[in-house]
Amino acid sequence: MKVYPECGPCMLRQAGEAIDLATDNPKLKIETINEVFKFLASNFKVGASSNKIGSNMHKIVKKKTKCYDPYIKEKEMGNLIAIGLFDKVEKILKKDDSLENYVKIAIIGNILDFGGLGLDIDFEKMIDESLNKDLAINHIEDFKNTLENADSLLYLVDNTGEIVFDKLLIEKLKEYDLDITVAVKEKPILNDACMEDAIAIGLDELTNLVSIGTDSVGLVYDDLSQEFKEIFTSHNFIISKGLGNYEGLTEINLKNKEVFYLFSAKCSAIAKDSNVEVNDNVFLKSKN
């Protein structure tokens, strides 16, 4: 996805949050935000890739502060909260175990900003409201057709916490006798899931776990390891979770691939790009 005007202020906000998490040193904070200013001044322009800029910006913060996992506490909180909700979600799915409901549950994981919302939120209410809310774009029938004819699937996960809900969908997809590969980040960036996060919830017992070979927001194709590029090329059926993966995949030639995006349009730029309203829940098949 190309940058929209509102991506600029959003990136500055996110840089400030990451810097605050990375260091308490006021002098270092100012020096780091100055580095971010210089980078954005040179690179934030019409036609620039939104997630590529975001990835490089976060790498600047990590390198300058020498804090290589600023969001570690938020990641831990995300998985703990999600695991705490696991039994309740399973009960909901026992009442209605349709594939569409599993997809909705997976999207709920993308709605909830576990670290940002904290512990005093009525998560059960949010789950109920989301399950009762229609998907703004719902390509479930296309998805079913692809499942019936596919023998392998590449699942690009997004955040910790969220991956607990992805696990439920993956368990449902195993009914289709698919060989499922789940891709995680090589190193921490934001609160994205890395190998240890996926192993901690048992995804290694269900799927083939692989690393994309880098620490990018979503996929930045040029930064991927050669090993993962080969994995990506070999898969024609892909599930893409979250906004970062949407931003990255829409910059890649997806000819002959069937890609299904699962996300909540939490920002106006993504909403505009996917032709929905802010906070709409989306299950979108790529047009490529």
pLDDT for the residue 199 = 95
Give residue limits of the domains in the chain. Answer: 7-65, 72-285
What mean pLDDT comes out for the span 250-255?
93
Q: Are strands 258-264 and 237-241 parallel, antiparallel or unpaired?
A: parallel
Asked if 185 and 269 touch (Cβ cutoff 8 Å), the reply is no
**Architecture category of domain 7-65 in CATH:** Orthogonal Bundle (1.10)
CATH topology of domain 72-285: Rossmann fold (3.40.50)
State the pLDDT at residue 213. Answer: 98
Structure tokens at 244: 């970062």
* Confidence band of 81 (pLDDT split at 50, 70, 90): confident
Q: What is the enclosing helix (H) or strand (E) of 279?
A: none
Q: In the structure, how many helices (H) and strands (E) does the chain have? A: 13, 7
Residue whose entry in the numeric block shows the structure tokens 């009914």: 175
Confidence of residue 74 (pLDDT cuts 50, 70, 90): confident
> Does pLDDT of 115 surpass 60?
no
**What's the pLDDT at 120?**
59
pLDDT of residue 84: 81
The predicted model scores a pTM of: 0.94
Counting residues of the chain whose pLDDT is more than 90, the rounded percentage is 78
Residue identified by tokens 């976060």 is 58
Exposed/middle/buried for 203, CB within 10 Å: 0-12, 13-18, 19+? buried
- Which band of pLDDT confidence, cut at 50, 70 and 90, is reported for residue 119? very low
Residue 266 has pLDDT above 60, yes or no: yes
Compute the average pLDDT of residues 213-236: 97
Residue 206's alpha-carbon distances to 86, 158, 164, 169, in angstroms, are 17, 17, 13, 11
User: CA 12 to CA 230: how far, in whole Å?
Assistant: 34
> Which of the residue ranges 13-17, 31-35, 107-111, 127-131 would you say has the lowest mean pLDDT?
127-131
